[in-house]
Amino acid sequence: MNNKMRRLATTSALVSGLLLAASGSAQAKTLVYCSEGSPEGFNPQHYTTGTTFDAAGRTAYDRLVEFKPGTTEIEPGLAESWDISDDGKTYTFHLREGVKFQKTDYFTPSRNFDADDVLYSFNRQLDPENPWHKIGGGYEYFEGMGLPDLIGRIEKVDDHTIRFHLNTPSAPFLADMAMDFASILSKEYADQLMEQGHPEQMNQKPLGTGPFMFAGYQKDAYIRYMAHPDYWRGKAPIDRLVFSITPDASVRYQKLQANECQVMAFPNPADLDAMKNNPDINLKSAPGLNIGYLSFNTEKAPFDNVKVRQALSMAVNKKAIIDAVYQGAGTEAKNPIPPTMWSYNDAIENTPFDPEKAKQLLKEAGVENLSTEIWAMPVQRPYNPNARRMAEMIQADWKKIGVNAKIVSYEWGEYLRRAQQGESPTGLFGWTGDNGDPDNFLYTLLSCDAAEKGSNYAKWCYEPFEKLVTEAARKTDESERTKLYEQAQQVFHEQMPWLPIAHSVVYEPVRSNVKNYVIMPTGVHSFYGVDLAE
């Protein structure tokens, strides 16, 4: 009897436990995101693609400062506040206390986040002698943003204060700290991995203070996350987040329709109309933080003559390009920075489409029977969905003013390399902003430094412009910087090293029961705060 009772009790406990577990998993709120590809790794320090930042940077990690959702404004993150010295060279961050690292089956933290984690995260990128420096790959983004030259040293003032000493004043530095490569890793986790002899695991199983904890990954299939229960901003409304890796855009759309996922990345422009008309889908859109443009090689005759650049710009029917190439998902550009960015100079007049005037300008410049090349990018980008088609349209427009252009294209890496060496007379290029700072467009794409060894494919090194953008980067006051950048855009417009063509519109379809999803201007996908209606 006794035995029977015990067995019965055990069985019923087991059954109720199972039921509980089953009901628990049934109630777990799961959001599935159809992403476009597998991440290259899980340590955002090593990579430069949005796919990887979505998978690691935006889920497992936090940064000292963050972009306010939907904007490029900076808000406090792991740093509660910060001071900038008067000379603009010292940044002191006051770190938030009581921030917990994630507890997973592969790591149990024994302490909260502090200055050592910040030191570890930056020193491994900055210091070639750091034992972690060579582990897991290079630091393309950190280097690409010029930080090794900019940061002199990093000082731990106390457990909750960290100070960056810069070699030169640089206002965009703060925005850099909100970028994914500036994610804060756990020093304690790193030490544990080193001790176990598996430092490479840092790039396979991420662990940070962020809103979602890594729970499994199968390449090209899925990435799983659980909500971090002790997240310092509060636990995410959803319990589970799944990235369903789906490389084909049409298939992603099918999955969204079948409710196999609730948010999808990068829709096909051709599907947008159907999405707008689908009652189950909420098609979100936001202006992209990008620019697609045609550069003129200002070192090569006749493009060293500003009149020729203006003439060729006027001959292009941008409106027709927006309609045909962007299929309406773009706006005409007149400045090198997008209108959503602070300091955008709206007073500048768009270059008119005027073939007659263009002919006249060419005549004034003494240019006849011009034959040249238009370089067309071999890849599709949000800022230019079809460069070949765009080049053909420009070619036809130029033909009307007597300019013969041949369309040239190379494999993407080769294309960029040759353009960097100044081989393209005119070429289609583009840029998507990294950190929302105008410097990231105006200096990165148009400075003398970039002409020499960066992304200034117009090879345009123009003293008055250079002075303005260099000075703007040294000031920390935003209103002062705005004035300088506005002037710089005026100089750009007069000199026309590029023909700015378009800023694309970013579309992101979500199921209509998805709440609080916000498109991030920097192009990443972020799921903290997103909820599902019952």
Partner 1 sequence: MLTFLLRKLALLVPTFLGVTIITFALVHLIPGDPVAIMAGERGIDPERHAQLLHELGLDRPIWQQYFDFLWRLLHGDLGRSLVTHNSVFDEFLALFPATLELSICAMVFALVLGIPLGVLAGVKRGSIIDHTVMGTALTGYSMPIFWWGLLLIIFFSGVLGWTPVSGRLSSMFWIETPTGFMLIDTLLSKEPGAFVDAIRHLILPSIVLGTIPLAVIARMTRSSILEVLGEDYIRTARAKGLAPFRVIAVHALRNAMIPVTTVIGLQVGVLFAGAILTETIFSWPGVGKWLIDSVSRRDYPSLQGGILLIATLVMLVNLTVDLLYGLINPRIRHNR
Q: Which residues bind partner 1 (CB under 8 A)?
A: 30, 32, 37-38, 40-41, 48, 136-138, 140, 143-144, 200, 203-204, 215-216, 218-222, 224, 242, 244-248, 250-251, 254-255, 257-258, 260-261, 410-414, 416-417, 420, 429-432, 444, 450, 453-455
Question: Using only C-alpha atoms, what is the Rg of the chain?
Answer: 26
3-state SS, residue 236 = coil
Pick from 367, 382, 395, 344: which is nearest to 519 by CA? 382
Q: What's the min distance (Å) between Cβ of 261 and partner 1?
A: 8
Q: Residues 449, 125, 119, 49: is their CA dihedral positive or negative?
A: positive
Fill in the DSSP letter of residue 337: S
Q: What's the min distance (Å) between Cβ of 226 and partner 1?
A: 10
Token readout for 145 is 């943003």
Question: Which of residues 370 and 408 has its CB atom nearest to partner 1 in the complex?
Answer: 408
Q: What's the min distance (Å) between Cβ of 58 and partner 1?
A: 19
Q: What's the min distance (Å) between Cβ of 48 and partner 1?
A: 7
Question: Which of residues 138 and 352 has its CB atom nearest to partner 1 in the complex?
Answer: 138
Alpha-carbon distance 262 to 248, whole Å?
16
Q: What's the min distance (Å) between Cβ of 373 and partner 1?
A: 18
Residue 424 makes CB contacts below 8 A (sequence gap 6+) with: 295, 297, 373, 375, 408, 418, 457
Pick from 131, 128, 129: which is nearest to 139 by CA? 128
Token readout for 135 is 């582990």
Q: What's the min distance (Å) between Cβ of 49 and partner 1?
A: 8
The interaxial angle of helices 463-474 and 478-495, nearest 10 deg, is 160
Question: Which of residues 101 and 429 has its CB atom nearest to partner 1 in the complex?
Answer: 429
Q: SS3 for 300-332, per residue? A: CCCCCCHHHHHHHHHCCCHHHHHHHHCCCCEEE
Question: Which of residues 32 and 174 has its CB atom nearest to partner 1 in the complex?
Answer: 32
Given a contact cutoff of 8 angstroms between Cβ atoms, the answer to whether 429 and 381 are in contact is no
Residue 12: φ, ψ to 5°: -65, -35
Q: Which amino acid appears at position 354 of this protein?
A: D
In the chain, what is the greatest distance between 2 CA atoms, to the nearest angstrom? 111
Q: What's the min distance (Å) between Cβ of 382 and partner 1?
A: 12
Between strands 90-95 and 161-166, the pairing is antiparallel
* Nearest-10 Cα torsion for 235, 238, 244, 245: -40
Question: Which of residues 34 and 99 has its CB atom nearest to partner 1 in the complex?
Answer: 34
Q: What's the min distance (Å) between Cβ of 247 and partner 1?
A: 6
Question: Which of residues 306 and 416 has its CB atom nearest to partner 1 in the complex?
Answer: 416
Pick from 377, 471, 392, 362: which is nearest to 424 by CA? 377
Given a contact cutoff of 8 angstroms between Cβ atoms, the answer to whether 245 and 263 are in contact is no
| Peptide linkage before 199 cis (omega within 30 of 0) | no
Q: Which amino acid appears at position 510 of this protein?
A: V
Between strands 74-76 and 65-67, the pairing is antiparallel
Question: Which of residues 158 and 280 has its CB atom nearest to partner 1 in the complex?
Answer: 280
CA 338 to chain centre: 14
Question: Which of residues 287 and 454 has its CB atom nearest to partner 1 in the complex?
Answer: 454
Q: What's the min distance (Å) between Cβ of 409 and partner 1?
A: 11
Q: What's the min distance (Å) between Cβ of 323 and partner 1?
A: 25
Q: What's the min distance (Å) between Cβ of 252 and partner 1?
A: 9
Fill in the DSSP letter of residue 201: G
Alpha-carbon distance 33 to 265, whole Å?
8
Question: Which of residues 108 and 250 has its CB atom nearest to partner 1 in the complex?
Answer: 250
Question: Which of residues 98 and 128 has its CB atom nearest to partner 1 in the complex?
Answer: 128
Q: What's the min distance (Å) between Cβ of 377 and partner 1?
A: 9
3-state SS, residue 68 = coil
Question: Which of residues 398 and 429 has its CB atom nearest to partner 1 in the complex?
Answer: 429
Question: Which of residues 125 and 487 has its CB atom nearest to partner 1 in the complex?
Answer: 125
Sheet holding 151-158, edge to edge: 79-84, 90-95, 161-166, 151-158
Question: Which of residues 162 and 227 has its CB atom nearest to partner 1 in the complex?
Answer: 227
Q: What's the min distance (Å) between Cβ of 416 and partner 1?
A: 6
